[in-house]
Structure 1
Amino acid sequence: MKKQLTIWLIALFTSFSLYGQEQQYVVLEFIKVEPNRVLDYLEYKEFLAQVHKVSKEEGHINGWDLWSLQSGSDLEGENFQYVTVTYYSDPVKMMNGNDTDQLVNNAIKAFPEMSVTEATKKISDAMDMRDLAVRSYMVEVARTDDSFDFQPGILASFDLMKAVEGKFQEYERAEQEVFLPHHQRKINADLMENWCFLRTALPTGSEAKSTHMTMNVYSDYLQFFNSMEFEDMEITAEQQQAVEAGLNSRDQKWVYLATLESLVR
């Protein structure tokens, strides 16, 4: 445990050193909504999108996504319908991102006709209609070189990983040195649009459910299925061995396929 915490601290300080190079921090919230409240939640998500638009204009966030989950093995046996992804420029803003007073102030700016009491109740009611089962604070470690413009209707798979005990650094090297170039070749072949690799931004113990995540973005289902058939003809025997070693350094815990419903950029 002590060794794992030391490795995490080294990784975190490495992330801070990259802050000047547009380091990005991300909060993922996996959400469950009761069937009889889905329509209410859909109304809430439009309200929240406007609130987050103000948050971006005020410099509190870099962006916000709401994805509907199409498939996946559920964390803790929960049946999630949505996941939100909120992007931040630094870890302090990330940790303060759920400040209720800030959300209320932004709601009043987004909807000037609302009083403080009305905005507070709207935020409270919106939070009460969903079950936030999992919240993950993460930092981006690597991403592909692309200029893809996120739009509603695109697809993504959220792959949650857990680094094998004692192979934390080996796994991160594999993602950056082996899998990143592989996904970049997919993008260059028009078989993927965007890929990023994230690690948890808070220290975790050996019983943590996951330590990392990759987000794989596709324009549509056709591209997604074509990507699954991709054979990397450029890979060498030595690189193939590195791929296998990388796969053995992590446990792929869950994979979720999702469609982008709303976004703020």
Structure 2
Amino acid sequence: MKKLIIIAFAVLLAMPLIAQENLYVVMELMKVDNEQEMDYWETEQFWKKIHQERLKAGEIIGWDLWQLLPGGEDQGYQYATVNLYNSAEKMFGDGGDFMKHVKAAYPDMSEDDVYKKFNATAKARDLAVRIFMERIDQTEGDVSMDVGTIAYIDFMKVDMGGYSAYEKAETEVFKPWHQEMVNDGSKGYWGLFRFMVPYGSDTYASHITVNMFENLQKALNQEGPGGDLTDAQQKAVEDGLKTRDMKFTYMARLIDIVR
């Protein structure tokens, strides 16, 4: 799990349900010790109001806070925040007049108190990994994403010369199955995301897939499409699985959201 610190990535996660042709995502993976839990929650509530002001200004189109499971201190990361953008320029931008948003969110807070909050943020968690991503493909369907939504986030490692074959397999072989589950209501959403930064052969992963469910019961009872596979379909599945190495899967629960 320590290798995640050098990920080729930056989820999820709540991002998919925004009706946006282009979607860019910054995911931040947090390490939070058991004794930091309460302080971390208070810290994210402080930042939530600032994200609301950023949303009003058009800098972001959303923000999410996810709890990651299994979540133990020796199992990588406990939380993920996700910032959503409608352009790569905004995602890689400098955040505009950030202090203006802070003042709008907390007009009565002194500058000293603001910086105390910033310092408290650093103490409440370890921002271990930041990943910049673009959405490559997704299922179609109208699904509202609320607090309590469950997601499986799969970290995929694909050789740099194999991106085209892998993404084609996800889109042509596996996406139709996910779409079938969305259509029958057993799944809410599936999306494919490619890491933009960091990037390279030494990174932990290169893509993620996100499967989202309305609630825990549907997430635990997920089943693939019914029916037997033809020989051609079986071969397509086997060939598709060979295009990537599934490195790790988190179950994530959405615990806060800004839209």
SS of the residue corresponding to residue 201 of structure 1 reads strand
Identity %: 36
SS of the residue corresponding to residue 224 of structure 2 reads coil
Which residue identity is paired with 1:176?
Answer: T
Q: Distance in 2 between matches of 1:129 and 1:110?
A: 20
Query: Residue 87 of structure 1: which of 84, 93, 112 is its match?
Result: 84
| CA drift at 1:209 | 0.5
The answer to whether the 8 A contact 2:27-2:132 is kept is: yes
Match of 2:231 in 1: 237
Match of 2:66 in 1: 67
Higher helix residue share: 1
| CA drift at 1:235 | 5.1
Match of 1:14 in 2: none
1:120/1:159 CA distance change after superposition, 3 Å: same
1:81/1:203 CA distance change after superposition, 3 Å: closer
Q: Give 4+ residue runs of structure 1 displaced > 6 Å after superposition.
A: none
1:33 aligns with 2:32: yes
**What runs of 5+ residues in structure 1 fail to find an aligned partner?**
1-20
Which residue identity is paired with 1:243?
Answer: V
Instruction: Tell which deviates more after alignment, 162-171 or 181-190.
Output: 162-171
Match of 1:144 in 2: 139
Instruction: Tell which deviates more after alignment, 88-97 or 194-203.
Output: 88-97
| CA drift at 1:226 | 2.1
| CA drift at 1:220 | 1.3
Q: Distance in 1 between matches of 2:236 and 2:63?
A: 35
Q: Distance in 1 between matches of 2:78 and 2:138?
A: 26
**What runs of 5+ residues in structure 2 fail to find an aligned partner?**
1-19
Match of 2:211 in 1: 216
Q: Distance in 1 between matches of 2:225 and 2:91?
A: 38
Instruction: Tell which deviates more after alignment, 65-74 or 129-138.
Output: 65-74
Q: Cα deviations across residues 131-186 of structure 1 (Å, max 9, x unaligned)?
A: 01111111000011011111111100110101145322100101111111110001
Match of 1:47 in 2: 46
